[in-house]
Amino acid sequence: MTRQHSREVDRQAGLTSPAGLDSTEKSALEVQAEACKALGHPIRLFLMGYLDRRGEEVGSTELALLLGISRASFSQHLTKMTAAGLVIPRRAGKQVFVRIASSRIGQAYRRMAQALGE
Give the model confidence (pLDDT) of 26-50 as tens digits: 888 888 899 999 999 999 999 999 9
The pTM for the full model equals: 0.76
Domain range enclosing 99: 39-115
Are residues 59 and 15 located together in one domain of the fold?
no
Would the pLDDT of 14 be above 70? no
pLDDT the model gives residue 4: 61
**Distance of alpha carbon 64 from alpha carbon 47, whole angstroms:** 10
Compare 36 and 16 and report the one with higher pLDDT: 36
CA–CA distance, 80 with 69 (Å, rounded to integer)? 16
83-116 pLDDT, tens per residue?
Answer: 999 999 999 998 999 999 999 999 999 999 999 8
* DSSP for residue 58: E
| 56 and 107 fall within a common domain | yes
Residue 22, amino acid: D
Both 28 and 46 in a single domain? no
Residues 55 and 25 in one domain: no
Question: What was the pLDDT predicted at 22?
Answer: 80
Q: Same domain for 77 and 104? A: yes
CATH number for the domain spanning 63: value is 1.10.10.10
Strands across the sheet containing 95-100: 58-59, 95-100, 87-92
Between 21 and 7, the higher pLDDT residue: 21
Residues 50 and 105 in one domain: yes
